[in-house]
Structure 1
Amino acid sequence: MKRLLFLLATLALHAAYADSAKQQRTLFFGKDDRVKIRPHAQPWRAIGQIETASGQICTGSLIAADLILTAGHCFLNEDGKLDAATLFSLALDGEQATIRVRPARVYVEQRLFDGIKIRADGMIIAPEVAAFDYAFVSLAQPLPQKFKPLPVFQGSGRTLRDALQRKHWRVSQAGYPIDDDSHLSAHLNCRVTAQFADGRLGHQCDTLPGDSGSPLLLIHGKYAEIIAIQSSAPDAANRAQADNMALSTPAWQTALKRLQNQRR
């Protein structure tokens, strides 16, 4: 098993690597509600796994023919330096992937790195920089047209709140977690519990290390759109005090548009 980036929590809650099955179960909300998904159709086919130079892994989503969306903290190594992306495996299913491609560049906010504290057993993101926990990874070459990117929710925090209300605050999440990092696991119809002014969403989707950067989706029949990416979770001991945190599209929408304009 690859060495994983074990994550963090905002609001001064420390997150540690779940080094036992019991601790992993504690990170879930009562029970493990995840299901295995074969990523052979949308939206699951556009979700993949990112590996870095140090061997850390996170989950990423194809949002353009040559662009991946994931979490920014995925690219900070133990020495506090940029940990370059080395491989993106799209629609990984066991030993098979639909395609494996080489990343070219990581776009991440330096302000995020400035606000991360590294400890022997994990990381903590200062609350004032939590809204910068996103990254875009460009690929060395665009993927063929048959690989369809996932659309990103467009709109303000208020527009997103209205969309979530129409769905009764239910979303779906999918990623490549530590307990089976070669198969896609999804928590369907999980609950968003809070929306914060800085763009974060509290939620109760069952995630583990390796799910960092995984998409939270609003699904409308056969159509799905990314509304947020998984950012952080408390450690097992603090599960009762805090939900997981995701970073919603209004927090990074402007940065994405700026990047797209620069690359034209």
Structure 2
Amino acid sequence: MKILALILAAAALTFGTQATAQTSALRTLDTDYAAASWKAVGRIDFGQGAFCSGTLIAPDLVLTAAHCLYQPGSGTLWPTDTIRFSAGLRDGAAVAVRRASDAAAHASFEPTGAMSVHNVSHDVGLIRLSEPISTFDVPPFYIHEDRIAPGPVSVVSYGRGRANAQSRQKECQMLLREADAMIFDCDVTFGSSGSPVFSHLNGRGRIISVVSGMLDIEGEKRSIGMVLPARVAEVKSQMRLQVAPPTAKVRRITVGGGKQRSNIGAKFVKP
């Protein structure tokens, strides 16, 4: 299987201005009306100021990125009693807030491994909530099960500088798929790890991917995610069997390869 660096080399030759021309600007969902459809997207707080984005996919189950579940620089998972999910968080108020009762990162995700197609495609984690959230208050989103092709998608996320309200990019582009990894031109930042990427088909959006990290390709910022159905099913199976995910040390990669680290999730790499 190709490593991600080879994908990026191909992407740098393939991406053109036509692919990004339809991409819209990121917009804060700062009114009840604008945020009403996206209440299932929330902020996951891990203590000590760390957070990621996540999405309710069942009344008691939140989808996020596997690397979010590891404490930065410590080599250990966040204790479940420090994990809190705030659905639809906006300006300090959430539609529902729940603590975690269980959490699992995909067993094949390697926290210290290279940012390869294999690792990105397994960067999937699930959080079981201590109490379910009413589907009347917060309807969950479903996983996209159909064919995925390059074209328009959208993303809803939190991030550094916009941590207190969701932001939505109404349209960005899925540019390239290699095996079970995909590259997007969606606008994400630190804290956007675990954000849902939605399809534009069949009415209400379905989740085709979650944000695993960010890339710099010849000065252009790109985001990367994975194909979900099989990975989500595998992590659900882990949770049922109480299989513990790896506890190896997490390595955060910053742009330019420096030693600076962030405590809020998303990973950077510069080819």
Please indicate the TM-score interval, normalised by the length of the shorter structure: 0.7 to 0.9
Q: How far apart are the structure 1 equivalents of 2:148 and 2:41? A: 22
Q: Deviations over 1:241-261 (max 9, x none)?
A: 773211122451431563587
Does 1:195 find its partner at 2:189?
no
Pair 1:132-2:122 in alignment: yes
The one-letter code of the counterpart of 1:246 is: G
- TM-score, scaled to structure 1: 0.73
Residue 104, structure 1, aligned to residue 95, structure 2? no
Report deviation, 1:49.
0.4
Post-superposition Cα deviations, 1:116-145, rounded to whole Å, max 9, x if no partner, equal: 26xxxxxx6354422210100000011123
Between the aligned partners of 2:144 and 2:239, the Cα distance in structure 1 is 16
User: Structure 1 stretches of 5 or more lacking a match?
Assistant: 1-8, 14-28, 118-123
1:95 alignment counterpart:
92
1:65 aligns with 2:52: no
Matched, 1:51 2:45: yes
The percentage of aligned residue pairs carrying the same residue is 22
SS across alignment from 1:178: coil
Aligned equivalent of 1:249: 228
Distance of 2:46 and 2:6 partners within structure 1: 26
SS in structure 2 of the partner of residue 81 of structure 1? coil
Would the aligned equivalents of 1:63 and 1:152 in 2 still touch at CA under 8 Å? yes
Q: What do the CA deviations read for 1:203-237 (whole angstroms, capped 9, x no partner)?
A: 000010111000000134741110110011125xx
Shift of 1:12: 9.5
Alignment of 1:166-205 (within 5 A): 169-197=151-179, 199-205=180-186
When the two structures are aligned, how many residues end up with a matched partner?
220
Relative to structure 1, the CA distance from residue 72 to residue 260 in structure 2 (aligned partners, 3 Å threshold; closer, same or farther) is closer
Partners of 2:132 and 2:155 in 1: CA distance: 25
Given that 2:198 and 2:209 are in contact with CA atoms closer than 8 Å, whether structure 1 keeps it comes out as yes
Match of 1:75 in 2: 69
2:148 is aligned to: 160
Rounded Cα–Cα distance in structure 2 between residues aligned with 1:248 and 1:12: 19
Q: Distance in 2 between matches of 1:258 and 1:187?
A: 32
Alignment gaps of 5+ in structure 2: 8-19, 243-271
The TM-score with structure 2 as length reference comes to 0.72
CA displacement at 1:57 relative to structure 2: 0.4
Amino acid of the structure 2 residue aligned with 1:153: H
- Once the 2 structures are TM-superposed, how far is the Cα of residue 88 of structure 1 from its aligned partner? 0.5
- The CA deviation string for residues 169-201 of structure 1, in whole angstroms up to 9 with x for no partner, is 00000100101101111111101110111x111
State the alpha-carbon separation in 1 of the partners of residues 57 and 141 from structure 2: 5
**2-structure distance, mates of 1:11, 1:83:** 30
**Equivalent position amino acid for 2:172 in 1:** C
Alignment partners' CA distance in 2, 1:203 and 1:67: 25
Q: Which residue of 2 aligns with 1:33?
A: 25
Is 1:116 matched with 2:112? yes
Report runs of 4+ in structure 1 exceeding 4 Å deviation: 29-32, 259-263
Residue from 127, 141, 149 that aligns with 2:140: 149
Which residue identity lines up with residue 214 of structure 2 in the other structure?
A
Q: Distance in 1 between matches of 2:26 and 2:224?
A: 17
Give the match for residue 216 of structure 1: 197
**Structure 1 residues 239 and 140, CA gap change in structure 2 (3 angstroms):** farther
* Contact in 1 for aligned 2:60/2:132 (Cα 8 Å): yes
Closer, same or farther: CA 36–233 of 1 in aligned 2, 3 Å: same
Partners in 2 of 1:129 and 1:249 — Cα distance? Answer: 13
